[in-house]
């Protein structure tokens, strides 16, 4: 039996335990903690920009807030990658509003007789709804899709059947003229255009303007792998050269589509025991895709179409021939007015209404959805500016940022998503945007769309320690040689801060830079008493 300890012996030990936090080494000042992270030789070769600013205890900016806790190159211009979305989504919530709803319609200038014969064209009109897809809303922890990526189009086709349409003597027209035919942003990489990240932008967007390509091994080695496409398998011509290889061999395959082409070339190998692969590949012309798919859905329901499929675009060049005052702002997205194809006033045969805009802003910021951010930029131009173009949206954005107290020499944007390599912004401008947002009526909604540390979106697998979870709400950004993280955090002492951390021009593995940014954020959170 071990010897018993006297009370007199135990009291000093208890006292030392209580005193140990006081005797612990004092926490180094925040600048020293940040320097300790960035002093690593491999990190010092890149270009870093940081600004950290205090907010009031309730997380808002006021006269007592705004103290700069740390600043490094905060006035220098950086490529922001997807931190660009912070500006686009803030402007959309402020100027268009969280309750805005998109409306997709099926219209005609013809007549429908008692035999179900439509004497005229059937026009599918898009007003920018980004969620004509199988995406489940509201977003909850992760992106979820149901098994029907074209459910909205099917609902419109069903409505036409209920309306009594049996024959269409005219054409099936897909009209995306609500925005200009301006599919890609300036400074986008050609490599991105094949994949979902670089999907073309359109006012008529079906299934995020991608098709899902599923690749499975054949039954025997030496045979071609099985490739299927969903939805609308007929849109692309497949040149499948992927060969099934013996079990245990490595999987390696490639996909190529030349710009302007509707041929997908796939080559490489897939082992017999492979579970298969799924890739989301961008389509070429969203309206053309929608026209062909909609006709297929109508014919599946017994509606006979005598005409052909065609598209109706607003060419960018036609807008530039008019003066600014000649192009009137539209209110088409929320009240259902559409751009007619001719002087005859169209009638609406069927319509589909979206969820409120706030739900899509949540998707954009949580998972960094490029296409939806680009739609928002054009929507700003169409609803609050002079045209549904990139430049129209950027002009509105510039006015909003001036109102937010951000100088025009602190940014230069070419798109709304951050895919452009030509975008530039200072860390100070980002922090000023975050401070401004925290004072606005829409600020709480805006903040709630950010990824939550260790919980969801692009931060689901970062800051997983219990003491960090949910205390950081921030937007990620990533391109080759670019990493960024900007948002809000609550420190150990309860201080609310807005921060922006940007890294450019590194040639390290992306994971190394991400880890360094995470260490910087931990240094922000792990603060001591106010100095």
Question: Domains along the chain?
Answer: 28-96+356-525 (3.40.710.10), 101-183+285-355 (3.50.80.20), 191-283 (no CATH)
Cα 135–Cα 136–Cα 142 angle in degrees, nearest 5: 90
C-alpha 90/C-alpha 71 separation (Å) is 24
- Gap between the Cα atoms of 446 and 95, Å rounded: 13
Q: What is the DSSP letter of 194?
A: G
Which tokens belong to 146?
Answer: 């149901």
Minimal CA–CA distance to 381: which of 313, 425, 323, 328? 328
Q: How far apart are CA 407 and CA 398, in angstroms?
A: 9
Residue 127: partners with Cβ closer than 8 Å, 6 or more residues away:
102, 103, 104, 105, 178, 203, 332, 333, 338
Q: What is the pLDDT of residue 329?
A: 34
Opening angle at CA 114, ends 110 and 116, nearest 5: 65
Q: Are strands 167-168 and 304-305 parallel, antiparallel or unpaired?
A: parallel
Max Cα distance, the chain (Å):
103
Per-residue confidence (pLDDT) for residue 258, from 0 to 100: 87
- Rounded Cα distance between 506 and 517, Å, is 13
CA distances from 50 to 38, 450, 520, 530 (A): 11, 19, 10, 20
pLDDT of 123 reads 98
C-alpha 360/C-alpha 354 separation (Å) is 10
Residue by residue, pLDDT tens for the chain (531 residues) are 545 555 555 555 555 455 444 455 678 899 999 999 999 999 988 999 999 999 987 655 555 568 999 999 999 999 999 999 999 999 999 999 999 999 999 999 999 999 999 999 999 999 999 999 999 999 998 888 888 999 999 999 999 999 999 999 999 999 999 999 999 999 999 889 999 999 999 999 999 999 999 999 999 999 999 999 999 999 999 999 999 999 999 999 999 988 888 999 999 999 999 999 999 999 999 999 999 999 999 999 999 999 999 999 999 988 864 444 333 333 334 443 334 444 478 999 999 999 999 999 999 999 999 999 999 999 999 999 999 999 999 999 999 999 999 999 999 999 999 999 999 999 999 999 999 999 999 999 999 999 999 999 999 999 999 999 999 999 999 999 999 999 999 999 999 999 999 999 999 999 999 999 999 999 999 975 444
> How many CB atoms are closer than 10 A to CB 345?
8
Query: Both tokens of residue 86?
Result: 């912070």
Who contacts 324 (Cβ-Cβ below 8 Å, separation ≥6)? Answer: 386
User: To the nearest 10°, the Cα dihedral for 481, 38, 466, 472?
Assistant: -60
Beta bridge partners of 478: 483
Identify the three-state secondary structure at position 209.
helix
Identify which of 503, 500, 501 has the alpha carbon closest to the alpha carbon of residue 482: 503
**Closest to 333 (Cα-Cα) out of 207, 133, 123, 178:** 178
Measured CA to CA, the distance from residue 222 to residue 242 in angstroms comes to 10
Residue appearing with tokens 């955090």: 489
Other CB atoms closer than 10 Å to residue 446's CB: what's the count? Answer: 24
CA 475 to each of CA 89, 447, 478, 480: distance values in angstroms, whole numbers, following the listed order: 11, 10, 10, 17
């Amino acid at each position: 039996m071990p010897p018993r300890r006297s009370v007199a012996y135990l009291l000093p030990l208890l006292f030392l335990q209580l005193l140990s936090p006081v005797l612990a080494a004092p926490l180094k000042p925040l600048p020293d903690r940040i320097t300790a992270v960035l002093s690593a030789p491999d990190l010092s070769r890149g270009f870093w920009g940081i600004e950290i600013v205090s907010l009031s205890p309730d997380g808002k900016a006021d006269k007592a807030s705004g103290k700069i806790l740390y600043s490094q190159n905060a006035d220098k211009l950086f490529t922001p990658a997807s931190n660009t979305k912070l500006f686009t989504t803030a402007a959309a919530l402020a100027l268009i509003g969280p309750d805005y709803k998109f409306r997709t319609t099926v219209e005609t200038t013809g007549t429908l007789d008692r035999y179900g014969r439509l004497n005229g064209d059937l026009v599918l009109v898009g007003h920018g709804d980004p969620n004509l897809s199988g995406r489940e809303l509201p977003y909850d922890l992760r992106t979820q899709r149901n098994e029907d990526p074209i459910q909205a189009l099917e609902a419109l086709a069903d409505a036409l059947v209920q309306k009594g349409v049996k024959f269409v003597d005219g054409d099936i027209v897909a009209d995306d003229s609500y925005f200009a035919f301006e599919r890609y942003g300036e400074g986008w990489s050609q490599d991105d255009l094949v994949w979902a990240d670089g999907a073309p932008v359109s006012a008529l967007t079906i299934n995020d303007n991608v098709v899902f390509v599923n690749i499975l091994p054949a039954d025997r080695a030496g045979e071609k792998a099985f490739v299927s496409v969903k939805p609308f398998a007929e849109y692309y011509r497949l040149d499948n050269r992927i060969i099934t290889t013996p079990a245990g061999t490595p999987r390696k395959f490639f996909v190529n589509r030349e710009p302007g082409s509707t041929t997908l070339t796939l080559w490489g190998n897939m082992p017999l025991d492979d579970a298969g692969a799924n890739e989301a590949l961008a389509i070429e012309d969203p309206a053309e895709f929608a026209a062909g798919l909609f006709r297929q859905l109508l014919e599946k329901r017994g509606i006979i179409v005598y005409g052909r499929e065609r598209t109706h675009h607003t060419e960018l060049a036609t807008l530039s021939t008019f003066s600014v005052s000649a192009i009137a702002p539209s209110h088409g997205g929320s009240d259902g007015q559409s751009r007619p194809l001719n002087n005859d006033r169209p009638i609406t045969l069927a319509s589909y209404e979206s969820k409120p805009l706030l739900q899509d802003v949540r998707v954009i910021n949580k998972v960094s959805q490029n296409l939806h951010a680009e739609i928002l930029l054009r929507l700003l131009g169409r609803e609050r500016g002079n045209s549904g173009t990139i430049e129209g949206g950027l002009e509105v954005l510039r006015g909003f940022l001036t109102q937010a107290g951000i100088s025009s020499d602190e940014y230069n944007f070419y798109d709304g998503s951050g895919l452009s390599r030509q975008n530039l912004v200072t860390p100070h401008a980002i922090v000023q945007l975050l401070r401004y947002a925290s004072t606005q009526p829409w600020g709480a909604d805006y903040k709630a769309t950010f990824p939550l540390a260790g919980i969801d979106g692009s931060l689901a697998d970062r800051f997983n320690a219990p003491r960090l979870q949910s205390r950081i709400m921030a937007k990620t950004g990533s391109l080759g040689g670019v990493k960024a993280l900007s948002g809000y955090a609550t420190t150990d002492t309860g201080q609310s801060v807005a921060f922006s951390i940007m890294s450019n021009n590194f040639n390290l593995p992306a994971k190394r830079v991400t880890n360094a940014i995470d260490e910087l954020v931990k240094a922000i959170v792990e603060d001591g008493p106010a100095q």
